[in-house]
């Protein structure tokens, strides 16, 4: 099972990664390591893939999977059951695995320098615009300058085409957000999700920001992309704290 490991100086007890599309049992067009149950894949294949995930990573527990709806809801992963509706989870408890599923949207993993709390965020453009980053950071009881953030694989700035409505949603919150857009025509823009997320984080006083160097659309051997394929699988981004 191939995986992407964050290039950040997280403490030793914090474990984090994003899966790729390689190493599972799903068939075309979900080939092969789809971890989402909501995309039309065979349920047994997804179940097998999730079991492979747990075994190969030696996870301390089943990941807390979310019903992601592009909201600004961040839940405590240690206090929920089933599949809660939310777009971020956090925990200060060891051996609780926070997880989000993506295939172009931006996965964001967060920990503090002392390794006492972690979080995972699913950030599409709607979630970013409406404040999913801010809602999750508000759950942290440590100083913002002590947080480390990794921006996982998302659709890159050269491939993510949006309409003027997306530009409006971001610039009404912060006029400086226009810097993350490149105009293509009167109705089409390219948007840089990594830049928008970094701007939001920096406004919160968070400067230790890493990652942001993949494109799920163009790196088709590694990643699923909804924009590229429409009917496709999802990668998982996971973060948890171990006992060391």
pLDDT tens sequence across 122-164:
999 999 999 999 999 999 999 999 999 999 999 999 999 999 9
Domain that holds residue 71: 3-155+205-241
The reply to whether 20 falls in a domain is yes
The reply to whether 175 falls in a domain is no
pTM, entire model: 0.96
Query: Within 10 A of 28 (CB to CB), how many other CB atoms are there?
Result: 8
The reply to whether 164 falls in a domain is no
Q: Dihedrals φ, ψ of 18, to 5°?
A: -120, 135
- CATH code, 213: 3.60.140.10
What is the token pair recorded at 32?
């092969």
What is the token pair recorded at 135?
């809602």
Total count of domains within the chain = 1
The reply to whether 172 falls in a domain is no
The reply to whether 163 falls in a domain is no
What is the token pair recorded at 87?
């777009």
User: Alpha-carbon distance 215 to 220, whole Å?
Assistant: 9
What is the token pair recorded at 229?
């394929």
- Residues contacting 238, CB < 8 A, separation 6+: 15, 16, 17, 18, 19, 57, 59, 63, 97, 98, 99, 120
244, pLDDT greater than 80? no
Average pLDDT over residues 68-81: 95
pLDDT tens, residue by residue, 21-49 = 999 999 999 999 999 999 999 999 999 99
The reply to whether 40 falls in a domain is yes
CA distances from 69 to 72, 101, 135, 161, 173 (A): 9, 11, 15, 21, 21
The reply to whether 100 falls in a domain is yes
Distance of CA 234 to the CA centre of its chain: 11
Buried b or exposed e, range 203-226, using 16+ CB within 10 angstroms: eeebeebbbbebbbbeeeebbbbb
Q: Mean pLDDT score of the chain, rounded to an integer?
A: 97
The reply to whether 183 falls in a domain is no
What is the token pair recorded at 214?
């993949």
């Amino acid at each position: 099972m191939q995986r992407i490991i964050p290039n950040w100086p997280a403490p030793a007890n914090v474990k984090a990664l994003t899966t790729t599309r390689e190493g599972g049992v799903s068939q075309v067009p979900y080939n092969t390591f789809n971890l989402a149950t909501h995309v039309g894949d065979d349920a047994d294949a997804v179940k097998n893939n999730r079991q492979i995930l747990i075994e190969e990573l030696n996870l301390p527990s089943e990941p807390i999977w979310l019903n992601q709806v592009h909201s600004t809801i961040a839940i405590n992963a240690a206090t929920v059951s089933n599949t809660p509706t939310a777009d971020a989870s956090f925990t200060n408890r060891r051996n609780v695995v926070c997880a989000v599923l993506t295939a172009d949207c931006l996965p964001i993993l967060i920990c503090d320098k002392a390794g006492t709390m972690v979080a995972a965020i699913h950030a599409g453009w709607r979630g970013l615009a409406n404040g999913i980053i801010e809602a999750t950071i508000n759950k942290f009881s440590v100083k913002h300058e002590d947080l480390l953030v990794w921006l996982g694989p998302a659709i890159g700035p050269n491939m993510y085409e949006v309409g003027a409505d997306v530009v409006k949603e971001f610039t009404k919150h912060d006029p400086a957000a226009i810097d993350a857009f490149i105009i293509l025509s009167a109705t089409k823009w390219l948007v840089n999700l990594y830049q928008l997320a970094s701007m939001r984080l920096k406004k919160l006083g968070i400067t230790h920001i890493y990652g942001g160097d993949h494109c799920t659309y163009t790196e088709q051997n590694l990643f699923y992309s909804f924009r590229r394929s429409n009917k496709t699988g999802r990668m998982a981004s996971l973060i948890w704290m171990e006992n060391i």
